[in-house]
């Protein structure tokens, strides 16, 4: 129900692309784990939200006109103090205004760092939805992170997924090997948590034909679970 209201309010504003915060809210409504994310509209708010969430946090530019935040240095990771959050807010907004003067800026999101990024490596994967001309909604899985375009590791399956199909989808991607064997000597990743995310994405797709594209990139998977740290959803 919360999901339906969110989609309606975005469409009422004549928008098709949900911000990272809105996309994560939709994922959370379907019980997909996301990093707690809040919007700061001023440097002081960034400082207070960071303190509330607990350090370390990540700060990211929030703009309907910016799809790849890293391209405009709109992502700052591992911020360790309120003062650093405040300074980062000011620097980030000034930099983005310089690089993209026409971009509308809502503010900066403050979010918890995914546990895996702080200590030993989790793996970054992507889970997505594309609408294929012939097949319709198609679920995509593969290696994730900012290098995704270079690696081109993508496996696809049509919804609805069941446990068997989601496991097979994971296994068809090349990244499956490092998930099963662990990363850099670490323990194997929690594949059941990853399967649950795929099943819930499939449920979302079946319940909301309004979804045209979805890009959870990255979903960070480690031995303790899976969490979406970035997401973008596009409606029909």
Beta strands (DSSP E) in the chain are 37-40, 57-62, 75-79, 107-112, 123-132, 136-143, 154-157, 211-222, 225-228, 231-235
- Judged by CB, which is closer to Mg ion: 44, or 70? 70
Footprint on residues 207-236 left by ligand ADP (CB under 6 A): 218, 229-230
158 binds ligand ADP, rule: CB under 6 A:
no
Question: What letter does residue 34 receive in the DSSP assignment?
Answer: B
Q: If contact means CB under 5 to 8 A according to the sort of partner, which of Mg ion, ligand ADP, none does residue 145 touch?
A: ligand ADP
111 binds ligand ADP, rule: CB under 6 A:
yes
Q: Of the candidates 19, 88, 117, 202, which one interacts with ligand ADP according to CB under 6 A?
A: 117
69 binds ligand ADP, rule: CB under 6 A:
yes
35 binds ligand ADP, rule: CB under 6 A:
yes
Angle at 184 between CA 183 and CA 185, to 5 degrees: 95
28 binds ligand ADP, rule: CB under 6 A:
no
53 binds ligand ADP, rule: CB under 6 A:
no
The Cα–Cα gap between 3 and 64 comes to: 19
- Judged by CB, which is closer to ligand ADP: 58, or 127? 58
217 binds Mg ion, rule: CB under 5 A:
yes
- Letter string b/e over residues 95-123, b meaning 16 or more CB atoms within 10 A of that residue's CB: ebeeebeeeebebbbbbbbbebbeeeebb
Task: State the angle between helix axes of 163-172 and 191-207 in degrees (0 to 180), rounded to the nearest 10.
Answer: 110
121 binds ligand ADP, rule: CB under 6 A:
no
Between 82 and 101, how does the x/- string for binding to ligand ADP read (CB under 6 A)? --------------------
Give the list of residues 6+ apart from residue 107 with CB closer than 8 angstroms, or none: 39, 40, 41, 42, 45, 62
Paired with 15 in beta bridges are none
**Chain residues in the site for ligand ADP (CB under 6 A):** 35, 58, 60, 68-70, 75, 77, 111, 113-114, 117, 124, 145-146, 218, 229-230
**Chain residues in the site for Mg ion (CB under 5 A):** 217, 230
């Amino acid at each position: 129900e919360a999901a339906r209201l969110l989609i309606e309010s975005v469409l009422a504003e004549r928008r098709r692309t949900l911000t990272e915060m809105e996309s994560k809210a939709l994922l959370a409504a379907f019980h997909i784990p996301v990093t707690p994310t809040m919007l700061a509209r001023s440097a002081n708010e960034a400082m207070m939200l960071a303190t509330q969430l607990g350090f370390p946090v990540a700060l990211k530019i929030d703009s309907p006109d910016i799809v790849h935040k890293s391209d405009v240095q709109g992502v700052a990771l591992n911020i360790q103090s309120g003062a650093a959050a405040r300074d980062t807010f000011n620097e980030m907004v000034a930099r983005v205004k310089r690089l993209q003067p026409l971009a509308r800026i809502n503010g900066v999101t403050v979010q918890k760092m995914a546990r895996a990024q702080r200590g030993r490596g989790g793996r970054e994967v992507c889970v997505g939805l594309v609408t294929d001309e012939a097949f319709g909604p198609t679920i995509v899985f593969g290696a994730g992170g900012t290098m995704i375009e270079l690696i081109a590791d993508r496996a696809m399956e049509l919804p609805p997924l069941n446990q068997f199909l989601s496991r097979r989808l994971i296994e068809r991607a090349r990244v499956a090997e490092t998930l099963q064997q662990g990363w850099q000597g670490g323990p194997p990743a929690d594949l059941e948590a990853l399967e649950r995310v795929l099943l819930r994405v499939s449920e979302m797709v079946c319940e909301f034909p309004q979804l045209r594209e979805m890009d959870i990139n990255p979903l960070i998977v480690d031995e303790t679970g899976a969490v979406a740290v970035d997401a973008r959803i596009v409606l029909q």
